[in-house]
Amino acid sequence: METLLQQIVNGLVVGSVYALVALGYTMVYGILGLINFAHGEVVMVGALTALQTLLLLMGIAPDMAPLLKLAIAVLVAMPVCMILGFLMERLAYRKLRNAPRLAPLITAIGMSFLLQTLAMIIWGRNYHTFPQLISTDPMQPIPGVFITPVQVTIVIVSALVMAGLILLVTKTRLGRAMRATAENHRVAALMGVDTNAIIALTFVIGAALAAVAGVMFASNYGIAHYAMGFMPGLKAFTAAVLGGIGNLGGAMLGGIVLGLVEAVGAGYIETMTFGFLNSSYQDIFAFVILGIVLIFRPTGLLGERVSDRA
Amino acid sequence: MKKTGIAIAIMGLGFGLMSGGVSAADMVVKLGHVGPLTGSISHLGKDNENGALLAVEEYNAKGVTIGGKKIKFEIMGEDDQADPRAGTTVAQRLVDAEVVGVVGHLNSGTTIPASRIYHQAGIPMISPSATNPKLTQQNYAGVFRTIANDVQQGGAIGKFATGTLGAKNIAIIDDRTAYGQGLADEVEKSAKASGGKIVAREFTNDKATDFMAILTKIKAQNPDVIFFGGMDAQGGPMLRQLKQLGINAKFITGDGACSGEMLKLAGDALSANAYCTQAGLPLDKMPGGKDFKDRYKKRFNLDVQIYAPYAYDAAAAMIEAMKAADSTVPAKYLPALKKINFQGVTGNVAFDDKGDIKEGAITVYQYKDGGWNPVD
């Protein structure tokens, strides 16, 4: 029982990070129908920028409170990623907005490689140790189930950020403009929405979320690396598809479900298959679930409003 | 237009002859080096390349004369990204560039498929770090390694866990690479043979950072010792996560995670419960270790990671064999390489009939006072 609870905790933590990254994929897809494969790299840039800021802060103000340092690092990483997101859209994707769908997709993959290589040139090839400023000493809320303060922070921050985003999209004028652009950007433009600005803003918001996810990811595992964004990016993309790409609630649900499926899958796959399969099939397990969901619900768990888009 | 072209060609020819005339005695001989120069273990790849480069530069500085000609050795460094497919591609590139020998590759997973290409081209290769037993079991005449293989290493780890540490229940994790899996299999065999019980056998991959799920599963089995077969990039975070889950078992890992990088990546999760093994002797205890450390630092302004001394000895073995055979032609110096016997940085370099190093030592280290210290 403790083991199952522990696996659920593990899954929730990983799932929260997936969900946060998946939001970036799904927002861009919802508005443009583009899968921005370089989104995982924005996560990496966020983590490494925060790392750079932390190292600088430790040099000039070693006595500053650790949490304040981390807050400053996040506040530096977010605008850097926002500028990066803006530039990506402006320079790489805007010109291709009316091109066949394959062209921006391939551009996005190219952008992913480009960012990884640039990061490798700037930060080098080595793994960097990311200072764990939030404690990683385990607590036991239930005897036998361990959770660390940094993991609690991850789940809470993710939940808050996601709630904020939903409020933004559903309750504000800006959110209405975003939804209108998603539905049909030509008509939205006729109604006086500056669709270019809205699309740019979508990239910027997604990048800010990615920066937060990057810092949380690096704080949890204590490492940062120029290729660290690739796997979480891929998993988050899977989560977005699982939940229903283009759907904000779906991205969150997909992230959490994927995290749980992975953790519980890795823990019990061997028992469930009587030793036939083992934990090396951890990832396959997640993709099998994805396959099954897509067979019965081709638009994902919560579904995309496909008919509206057409 | 045509005339200028011819004139340039003639000028070029003239210069070619002139420059040829200046250093008529110098013959350039290319040795290949392959390791991952990009990706998660590129720090180790660069370390190996530097080791081989240092050997070549030192021989060049001393001056080597083979077949009456002064030889200038060059290293042609290639990147295999630790990827078996990229490994065979660059192996073919080195063959096409007509290198006379190859130091590499770093990973067992890339070395084994690449060795076939070198074998077919008749080019000798010496891996400084591929420890999977299969490499030399293929019976390729030109395949060698300067490091002890995983049969020796895994055997030592299994005996250490059950004997010195007195472990009954052992959990094993590997990263599904030829190296990690190969070593883990040997540990499993050896631990079972010496009375240990394998309570869990779990798997991850060489790009993972989250091991919470498999570690939670292992925790339920309550092992005395957890062994991880893989590299430092995974070993460091794994050790942190062991601490986060409140697991107090002893942690042993192989040479891939027995690095300075591991100390940084695992940070404050390290304790006296962390052990690692290294094929060969500690750098300071190698016959030429201290001196090598200084020369390496002076040349590259970097610290030795792990395998640089083995790459150095691999390059040196090739050059020594060429000197002994008085030829840089692969087919001619290969017999000399098989019989080579000289004092290298890492110890006595001599190969058995399979191509494995003869005196392959294994050292167990324990974490103490901020570093890895050899266990007596």
A112 pLDDT higher than 80: yes
- Strands B225-229 and B250-253, by their bridges, are parallel
pLDDT at B22: 41
Q: Is A139 among the domain residues? A: no
Tell me the nearest-neighbour CA distance from B193 into chain A, angstroms: 23
Range in A146-155, A283-292, B336-345 the model is least confident about: A283-292
- Across the range B258-278, mean pLDDT stands at 91
Cβ neighbours, 10 Å, residue B16: 10
- Strands A128-129 and A223-224, by their bridges, are antiparallel
Q: Which residues of chain A have a CB within 8 Å of the CB of B220?
A: 2-3
Query: For B339, phi and psi rounded to 5 degrees?
Result: -100, 5
CB-CB under 8 Å, A267 with B267: no
Q: Is A138 among the domain residues? A: no
The answer to whether B23 contacts chain A (CB < 8 Å) is no
Tell me the nearest-neighbour CA distance from B100 into chain A, angstroms: 30
The answer to whether B216 contacts chain A (CB < 8 Å) is yes
Q: Is A42 among the domain residues? A: yes
CB-CB under 8 Å, B213 with A3: no
Q: Which residues of chain A have a CB within 8 Å of the CB of B219?
A: 3, 6
Q: Is A68 among the domain residues? A: yes
Going from the C-alpha of B2 to that of each of A258, B5, B10, B128, the distances in angstroms are: 68, 5, 12, 52
Q: Is A136 among the domain residues? A: no
Burial B192-220 (b: 16+ CB within 10 A, else e): eeeebebbbbbbbbbebbbbbbbbbbbbb
Q: Which residues of chain B have a CB within 8 Å of the CB of A10?
A: 210, 212-213, 216
B11 pLDDT higher than 70: no
**Is the previous residue joined to A185 through a cis bond, with omega within 30 degrees of 0?**
no
Residues of A at the B interface, defined by Cβ within 8 angstroms:
2-3, 6-7, 10-11, 13-14, 120, 125-127, 129, 132, 136, 138, 140, 146, 148, 151, 221-223, 225, 227-228, 230-231, 262-267, 278-280, 282-283
The answer to whether B61 contacts chain A (CB < 8 Å) is no
pLDDT at B3: 52
CB-closest option in B43, B244, B264 to A125: B43
Name the packing angle between helices B308-325 and B42-62 (round to 10°): 40
Residue of A19, A13, A8 whose CA lies nearest to A264: A8
B interface test, pick of A1, A12, A113, A125 with most B CB neighbours within 10 Å: A125
Residue of chain B nearest A275, judged by CA positions: B201
B110 pLDDT higher than 60: yes
Would you identify the CATH topology of the domain B25-148+286-349?
Rossmann fold (3.40.50)
Q: What percent of chain B has pLDDT over 90?
A: 74
Q: What is the ipTM of this complex?
A: 0.88
CB-CB under 8 Å, A146 with B213: no
- Across the range B229-237, mean pLDDT stands at 93
- Strands B371-374 and B362-368, by their bridges, are antiparallel
User: Token pair of B376, please?
Assistant: 């007596």
pLDDT at B13: 47
Residue of B121, B126, B135, B38 whose CA lies nearest to B79: B38
Please give the DSSP secondary-structure letter assigned to residue A125: S
A308 pLDDT higher than 70: no
The answer to whether B49 contacts chain A (CB < 8 Å) is no
Half-sphere exposure in the Cβ direction for B107 (13 Å, CA): 34
**Domains in chain A: how many in total?**
1
Largest CA distance in chain B: 85
| CATH code of the domain in which A177 resides | 1.10.3470
User: B16 pLDDT band (50/70/90 cuts)?
Assistant: very low
Rounded to whole angstroms, how far apart are CA atoms A144 and A146? 6
A9 pLDDT higher than 90: yes
Domain residue extents for chain B: 25-148+286-349, 150-279
- Name the burial class of residue A179, with classes exposed (0-12), middle (13-18) and buried (19+) by CB atoms within 10 angstroms of its CB: middle
Phi-psi region of B285 (alpha: psi -120 to 50; beta: other; left: phi over 0): alpha
- Across the range A132-145, mean pLDDT stands at 89
Range in A155-164, A220-229, A268-277, A290-299 the model is least confident about: A268-277
Residue of chain A nearest B81, judged by CA positions: A125
Contact B174, B181 (CB under 8 A): yes
Highest CATH level, class, for B150-279: alpha beta
Contact B306, B46 (CB under 8 A): no
Q: Is A160 among the domain residues? A: yes
Residue-wise pLDDT for A233-270, tens only, equals 999 999 999 999 888 999 999 999 999 998 888 888 77
pLDDT at A246: 86
The answer to whether B246 contacts chain A (CB < 8 Å) is yes
CB-CB under 8 Å, B210 with A267: no
- Across the range A163-175, mean pLDDT stands at 93
Which residues, in sequence order, are CB contacts of B161 under 8 Å at separation 6+? B167, B170, B187, B191, B196, B225, B227, B250, B252
Q: What does the mean pLDDT of chain B come to? A: 89
B residues 101..160 contacting A (CB < 8 A): none
Residue of B326, B261, B171 whose CA lies nearest to A225: B261
Query: For B288, phi and psi rounded to 5 degrees?
Result: -110, 20
CB pairs < 8 Å spanning A and B: 110
Name residue B65's beta-bridge partners: B70
3-state secondary structure at position A8: helix
User: A304 pLDDT band (50/70/90 cuts)?
Assistant: low
Residue of chain A nearest B205, judged by CA positions: A280
Please give the DSSP secondary-structure letter assigned to residue B272: T
Contact B168, B137 (CB under 8 A): no
pLDDT at B221: 92
pLDDT at B21: 41
Phi-psi region of B301 (alpha: psi -120 to 50; beta: other; left: phi over 0): left
What residues make up the domain containing A148?
A: 2-131+144-309
Please work out, in degrees rounded to the nearest 5, the angle formed at the alpha carbon of residue B44 by the alpha carbons of B43 and B47: 90
Rounded to whole angstroms, how far apart are CA atoms A101 and A103? 6
The answer to whether B264 contacts chain A (CB < 8 Å) is yes
Place of tokens 């959490």: A256
B interface test, pick of A10, A226, A262 with most B CB neighbours within 10 Å: A10
Residue-wise pLDDT for B21-40, tens only, equals 445 558 899 999 999 998 87
The answer to whether B38 contacts chain A (CB < 8 Å) is yes
Tell me the nearest-neighbour CA distance from B233 into chain A, angstroms: 7
pLDDT at B358: 87
Strand order in the sheet with B371-374: B197-203, B169-174, B225-229, B250-253, B274-279, B362-368, B371-374
Q: Is A202 among the domain residues? A: yes
Q: Which residues of chain A have a CB within 8 Å of the CB of B176?
A: 280
CB-closest option in B176, B209, B261 to A221: B209
Which residues, in sequence order, are CB contacts of B342 under 8 Å at separation 6+? B316, B317, B320, B348, B349
Range in B47-61, B66-80, B272-286, B310-324 the model is least confident about: B272-286
Q: Is A169 among the domain residues? A: yes
Which residues, in sequence order, are CB contacts of B121 under 8 Å at separation 6+? B95
User: Token pair of B310, please?
Assistant: 């083995």
